[in-house]
Amino acid sequence: MSEDLQKEIASLKQKKTGQMYLTWLRFKRNRLSVVGLSFVLLVIFIAIFAPLLTPYEPYDTNPFRRLESPSREHLLGTDELGRDLLTRLLYGSRIALQVGILIVLFEGFIGISFGLLAGYFGGWIDEIIMRLVDVLRSFPVIILAMAIAGIMGQGLFNVVLAIGLVGWTTYARMVRGKILSIKESDYVEAAFATGESTVSVILRYILPNVLPTAIIMVCIMMPTALIASATLSFLGVGVQPPLPCWGSIAAAGRDYITRAPWISTTAGIFIMFTVLGFNFIGDGLRDAFDPTSKRN
Amino acid sequence: MNSTLVEVRNLKKHFPSPAGPVKAVDGVNLKIEKGTSFGLVGESGCGKSTLIRVMLKLLEPTDGKVFFRGKDITGYGFRQMRPLRKEMAMVFQDPHLALNPRMTVFDIISRPLKIHGLARGKGELMVQVVETLKAMGLQTEHMIRFPHELSGGQKQRIGVARALVVEPEIIFLDEPTSALDVSVQTKILKLLDKARRERDLTFFFISHDINLIRVVADTMGVMYLGKIVETGPKEILLEDPHHPYTRGLFAAVPEPDPDKIITEIKLTGEVPSPVNPPDGCNFNPRCPYVQSRCREIEPELKELADGRSVACHLY
């Protein structure tokens, strides 16, 4: 019996397809999300290999070749200081990803933790956290971020702080709502009935059921974070020149929009493709993480 | 002859609501003898499910006491309850909701073993899970499945397996078949019955289905509006129900006999709200034999000579 059983178990292990693989299969079914994934992978590739993709440096100015239109030498032309625009945009992906990831990690961590606390423990903890969420959400994000930048000075980390300070509320609300429904579920009650501890219930029963929601949230919030940081840069309170940042490139190009329209438009296109990419991925993940979705 | 395994004394569970406390369980007294199968029937909303949850300490009672093997477990905290969780298992009503959708069947069944340290090493764990699965009529290969890949009947077998795997003393069953098809119901009931015989288990069954209780129970209880109105050996109760509510309830069971004339009491009216139950006997607004004292004095659950207890002024 025991030997047969071992053989049977060994063969089962081979047959068992990993959950990650199944998730990938479901993700792949959605064409648009694969397109989104390729956009994002392309941006990541550009960010890593930017120095190899262009012969120019993002900070090299050339006063004699300012605002040149696209040519064989400068594929997207040059900006107001004679820097190669394509180079600056390629390097800009580094800032964009850095800011985006930092913001999402920062607000995701705070939001998910607070949402978990509020949803699971309820009572006065829930009251305090949710009222704080209400207060923060009543501020216009950009104005608040400008105020923070005004107090703390400009720079990459202050952008992250400013946007994350309001951004976490979206996660907190979402996670709290999800947990409220999971907490009342029969399988959580069943877990307690078998003798599970509170910590174990949170880690084994609640978190695994919240996690997919959280990951989808991250992918959906990423574009918002990117746009917000680009907006701050555009307004001049975010990432500061001469750092190559899509938002500030678009802002700088605004002054020359009639003479050199390619500056603002190409920066905008880069932002658009990255944002679209993350949005498509988010949509695909929503279906992929639902183990019951059987859409072919 | 038998020893009392679980006893409940004057158990109350009131839920706060804007209109006042909802008296879901309101003074229940009940004894479950070791090795028996106790079946509790009552209409939806009479407090059966709440009673089970309070008995299992999943909800804190408002008042009253719960005894397990003669020990008062009412004030027990998590640590004190933990070893008892191995002895008192539960099977849930809806198998689709009672299993964690992110755990494999193996994880679901092996968790109780791990919690109570009942298996040494992964090999032993595996063997015990497989044996339990097979006893439930499932295959080894079901271990790697997720709940959504199983049918309702299979899920409920997993639910029963999770309860049985720790070899408990008593299993609380909260309408374990009401969410299943009739054909599957029979299979689950047979499995439960077999497990009970083989392992000398005690069952505490609740259901709104008298026919089900008739099959599975040897002791019956009838619950109405948060109270037990009549309890006793199944044969005695079925043969000659005393309490007017029990009689009405039994008479309401449809029988496949077109010529049968219903001569028994018909239940009329609505169940009063548990927020504001009537004074005296809970059943007095609907009782055909109502007397003036029924509206003032609450009848106690009295034991009669034939071994049953009934809460009615008529007896």
The full length of chain B comes to 315
d(CA A157, CA A242): 16
Query: Residue A17 — pLDDT band, cuts 50, 70, 90?
Result: low
Query: Residue B110 — pLDDT band, cuts 50, 70, 90?
Result: very high
Q: How do the residues of chain B divide into helix, strand and coil, expressed in percent and rounded to 5? A: 35, 20, 45
**Per-residue model confidence as pLDDT tens digits over B22-55:** 889 988 999 999 989 999 998 888 889 999 999 9
Question: pLDDT above 90 covers what percent of chain A?
Answer: 33
For chain A, say whether B81 makes contact (Cβ under 8 Å).
yes
3-class secondary structure per residue, A2-47: HHHHHHHHHHHHHHCCCHHHHHHHHHHHCHHHHHHHHHHHHHHHHH
- Average pLDDT in chain B: 88
Q: Does the pLDDT of residue A1 top 60, yes or no?
A: no
Question: Among A16, A186, A208, whose Cβ lies nearest the Cβ of B92?
Answer: A186
CB atoms B100 and A208 under 8 Å: yes
Q: Does the pLDDT of residue A187 top 90, yes or no?
A: yes
- Helix A207-235 crosses helix A262-288 at what angle (to 10 degrees)? 170
For chain A, say whether B102 makes contact (Cβ under 8 Å).
yes
Residues B93-99, mean pLDDT to the nearest whole number:
91
Query: Residue B264 — pLDDT band, cuts 50, 70, 90?
Result: low
Q: Does the pLDDT of residue A114 top 90, yes or no?
A: yes
Question: Among B78, B90, B97, whose Cβ lies nearest the Cβ of A193?
Answer: B90
**Per-residue model confidence as pLDDT tens digits over A196-233:** 999 999 999 998 899 888 888 888 888 888 888 888 88
For chain A, list the domains and their CATH numbers. 36-53+95-288 (1.10.3720.10)
Going by C-alpha positions, the residue among A234, A237, A247 that lies closest to residue A275 is A247
- Average pLDDT in chain A: 86
Using a CB-CB cut-off of 8 Å, the residues of chain B touching A190 are 90, 92, 98-99, 159, 162
Going by C-alpha positions, the residue among A63, A68, A61 that lies closest to residue A259 is A68
| R_g of chain A, CA atoms, integer Å | 24
Query: Residue A2 — pLDDT band, cuts 50, 70, 90?
Result: low
Peptide bond into A51 cis (omega under 30): no
For chain A, say whether B116 makes contact (Cβ under 8 Å).
yes
List, edge to edge, every strand of the sheet that includes B202-207.
B88-91, B170-174, B202-207, B37-41, B219-224, B227-233, B309-310, B302-303
For chain A, say whether B89 makes contact (Cβ under 8 Å).
yes
Q: Supply the pLDDT for residue A14.
A: 67
Q: Does the pLDDT of residue A137 top 50, yes or no?
A: yes
CA distance to A15, A27, A283, B288, B293, per residue, from A289 (Å): 21, 8, 10, 58, 62
Nearest residue on chain B to A187, alpha-carbon basis: B98
Q: Supply the pLDDT for residue A295.
A: 44
B residues 136..165 contacting A (CB < 8 A): 140-141, 143-144, 146, 148, 159, 162
Return the minimum-mean-pLDDT range out of A38-47, A145-154, A263-272, B21-30. Answer: A145-154
> How many angstroms away from the CA of B39 is the closest CA of chain A?
20
Query: Residue B262 — pLDDT band, cuts 50, 70, 90?
Result: low
> How many angstroms away from the CA of A17 is the closest CA of chain B?
9
CB atoms A196 and B99 under 8 Å: no
CB atoms A187 and B116 under 8 Å: no
For chain A, say whether B34 makes contact (Cβ under 8 Å).
no
Using a CB-CB cut-off of 8 Å, the residues of chain A touching B166 are 194
Determine contact, residues B42/B48, Cβ cutoff 8 Å. yes
Size of interface A-B (CB pairs under 8 A): 80
**Per-residue model confidence as pLDDT tens digits over B278-306:** 888 888 888 888 888 888 888 888 888 88
Going by C-alpha positions, the residue among B62, B87, B93, B83 that lies closest to residue B205 is B93
Query: Residue B231 — pLDDT band, cuts 50, 70, 90?
Result: very high
**The residue to which tokens 């940081």 are assigned:** A229
Q: Does the pLDDT of residue B1 top 60, yes or no?
A: no
Rama region for A292: left / alpha / beta (φ>0; ψ in -120 to 50; rest)? alpha
Classify each residue of A92-124 as buried b or exposed e, where b means 16 or more C-beta atoms within 10 Å of its C-beta.
bbbbbbbbbebbbebbbebbbebbbbbbbeeee
Residues A138-144, mean pLDDT to the nearest whole number:
83
Residues A140-150, mean pLDDT to the nearest whole number:
81
**Per-residue model confidence as pLDDT tens digits over A234-248:** 888 888 878 888 888
Determine contact, residues B199/B211, Cβ cutoff 8 Å. no
> How many angstroms away from the CA of A194 is the closest CA of chain B?
6
